[in-house]
Structure 1
Amino acid sequence: MGPRRTTLSFSSEDAPELEDTHKVFVYYCKYSGKHALTTDCNLNTAPRRRTDHALVIDTTKYTAKLYTTDGGAKFLKRRSGTVERQYRFNIGKLPIGYRTEPEGKYLYIFDDALTTLSVDESGASNNGSGKPPIPPCIVPTPQGGTKVALEIEDRGPRHVILKVSADSVRVQTKNAIQSSGLVEELLDFMRGLLGVRLAQMQLERGETPRNKTLVIDNLAPDIVFQKLAGAVKNFKPKRRY
Structure 2
Amino acid sequence: MPKVVSRGIVSEYDPDNDRNGLNVYYCAVCSEYLLALDTELEKLPRRRTDGAFIVNKERRTATFKTEEGKTLLIQRAAGFERQQRQHCPGCQLLVAYAESADAPFTYVVDGALSLAPK
Pair in the same fold by TM > 0.5: yes
Question: In 2, Cα distance between the equivalents of 1:93 and 1:74?
Answer: 16
The CA deviation at 1:102 is: 2.6
Q: Is the 8 A contact 1:99 1:108 kept in 2?
A: yes
Bigger RCO (CA 8 Å, 6+ sep) = 2
Question: In 2, Cα distance between the equivalents of 1:94 and 1:118?
Answer: 15
Q: What TM-score, normalized to structure 1? A: 0.40
Unaligned runs of 5+ in 2: 1-8, 12-19
The CA deviation at 1:83 is: 1.0
* Cα deviation 1:189-215 (Å, max 9, x = unaligned): xxxxxxxxxxxxxxxxxxxxxxxxxxx
Map of 2:38 onto structure 1: 40
Residue 50 (1) aligns with residue 48 (2): yes
Residue 113 (1) aligns with residue 101 (2): no
Q: Is the 8 A contact 1:41 1:57 kept in 2?
A: no
The CA deviation at 1:20 is: 6.1
Map of 2:93 onto structure 1: 94
Q: Which has the larger helix fraction? A: 1
Map of 2:27 onto structure 1: 29
Where 2:106 maps in the other structure, the secondary structure is strand
Q: Which has the larger strand fraction? A: 2
Residue 84 (1) aligns with residue 104 (2): no
The CA deviation at 1:44 is: 1.4
Residue 104 (1) aligns with residue 103 (2): yes
Question: In 2, Cα distance between the equivalents of 1:74 and 1:111?
Answer: 19
Equivalent in 68, 71, 80 of residue 70 of structure 1: 68
Q: What TM-score, normalized to structure 2? A: 0.79
The ranges of structure 1 where at least 4 consecutive aligned residues each deviate by more than 6 angstroms after the TM superposition are none
* Cα deviation 1:37-82 (Å, max 9, x = unaligned): 01113111110011111000111111111111111211110012x1
Map of 1:126 onto structure 2: none
State the AA in 1 paired with 2:60. Y
Question: In 2, Cα distance between the equivalents of 1:43 and 1:23?
Answer: 13
State the AA in 1 paired with 2:84. Y
Counting matched residue pairs gives 100
Question: In 1, Cα distance between the equivalents of 2:48 and 2:100?
Answer: 18
* Cα deviation 1:109-133 (Å, max 9, x = unaligned): 00111000013xxxxxxxxxxxxxx
